[in-house]
Structure 1
Amino acid sequence: MSDKPILRYTASQRTNHWLVAILFFMAGLSGLALFHPSLFWLSQLFGGGPWTRILHPFMGLLMFVLFLGLVIRFWRANVFIANDRLWLKRVDRVIRNEEQGVPPIGKYNPGQKLLFWTLLACMLVLLFSGVVIWRAYFSQYFGIGSIRLAVVLHALAAFVLVLSIIVHIYAGIWIKGSVGAMLHGWVSRAWARKHHELWYREVTRGETSTAEPPKKG
């Protein structure tokens, strides 16, 4: 059997992911600076209060547009299948790294799929609520009640988004090989078989891939 690594993410997909990640941290820090006076010192990272207020919505909008790129690329792989329900029932075995008896899954496990759709929902809430409270362009078209509701929804969605990203980072570090896949794009066959057997069968069927792993040395 070939021991050639398997391409999990292309350079374009990895670039898309890291651009979203960078914008998430920038939008998050600028948002925290505007959220509470005790955190206003973070605005110095963006040139002060006025620039933070100007840049924050544009960074958020760009983050959403780039995130849509990930949605377009990966939404099909995040559709739930029959095995996902059984996987969730036996997730305790996965946590203990005892995956015997756990049904095979596709490119993403159910936890990753739940995270994907949660991120999309949060992004949509942030987008629409952000438009309502964007004073420079749109807030004059909405009543004070709508603006207050939008502020609350914006904060709640941001809170859930931050928690979700923390889970995402922790899971990526916990499952060895996940971070490497998003850095250089390749995973070992053993890793693919263990964690995503259905995806492994799909990508190795017929061994028709012409992609070559990067040369070492």
Structure 2
Amino acid sequence: MAPRPYYSEPGDRLESVQPVEVSRYRGFTRANHWVTAFSLIELALSGLALFDPALYFLTGLFGGGQMTRWIHPIIGVVLFFSFALMFIQLWRMNMPKPEDTTWVANIGDVVKGREENLPELGKYNAGQKFVFWAMTGLIIVLIVSGVMIWQQVAGHLVSVPARRIAVLVHALSAVAIILVFIMHVYAAIWTRGTLRAMTRGTVTGGWAWRHHRKWLREIASRDNKGPAE
């Protein structure tokens, strides 16, 4: 019986040999990612519109103030369940690994692109794992605090003082998740070749070798063994 993969998932595989392409995300995972991303963007825009009168003009994107107030919590529920599906798929690959500590200790080399000074990595580096777990925690806080201030659903169950605290927690968490999202997008653009993983589902062998060598080694080793092993 083959050992359980440590750095890769069953769907990860080498797509071709010349040139080498590596399958990184299945179609379902990519669709799930984009639903989550667009839900978060819509929540940020509608939430900012409700947060400050200076940003009220953003309600025009959603059909006006009343429509924005109605649709904002609904999109929040969509985000929660969409991210829950992503969590089920990706949580194991985002668990801390021994090399993550070394990666963080050499963050200066990460910023400067000196990959040769960094440890070999599995499917995700420590920065990607931070984004994943930060998103997980913040989305949980946002959905709980959001339901507490959703008057049509829980207005009669939550006291006014508790609702006031929930509003503050919700606003602070929203700012935090927007910052994490911006960092995530910036990193994806900054690391050339990353975006195609979530658009085409594959990355080049060179990209995988440079950024996630343990992941590539495990996939290549597994594929070379064949189904009999």
TM-score under structure 2 length normalisation: 0.88
1:57 and 2:79 correspond:
no
Instruction: For 1:39, give the aligned amino acid.
Output: L
Q: How many residues align?
A: 210
The CA distance in 1 between the partners of 2:127 and 2:222, in whole Å, is 29
Runs of 4+ in 1 over 4 A off after TM superposition: none
Question: SS state of the match for residue 187, structure 1?
Answer: strand
Greater mean alpha carbon deviation, residues 99-108 or residues 162-171: 99-108
Contiguous gaps of at least 5 residues in structure 1: 211-217
Following superposition, the deviation at residue 209 of structure 1 comes to 10
Residue 214 of structure 1 corresponds to: none
Change (3 A) 1:188 1:116: same
The CA distance in 2 between the partners of 1:202 and 1:66, in whole Å, is 29
The CA distance in 2 between the partners of 1:166 and 1:70, in whole Å, is 19
Question: SS state of the match for residue 85, structure 1?
Answer: helix
Contiguous gaps of at least 5 residues in structure 2: 1-15
Residue 9 of structure 2 corresponds to: none
1:22 and 2:38 correspond:
yes
RMSD value over aligned CA atoms? 1.6
The CA distance in 2 between the partners of 1:152 and 1:120, in whole Å, is 19
Give the one of 99, 110, 117 matched to 2:133. 117
Change (3 A) 1:128 1:206: closer
Give the one of 66, 69, 79 matched to 2:95. 79
Alignment of structure 1 residues 116-135 onto 2, 5 Å: 116-135=132-151
Question: SS state of the match for residue 69, structure 2?
Answer: helix
Residue 63 of structure 2 corresponds to: 47
The CA distance in 2 between the partners of 1:209 and 1:174, in whole Å, is 35
Following superposition, the deviation at residue 139 of structure 1 comes to 2.1
Residue 90 of structure 1 corresponds to: 106
Following superposition, the deviation at residue 208 of structure 1 comes to 5.5
Percentage identity across aligned positions?
38
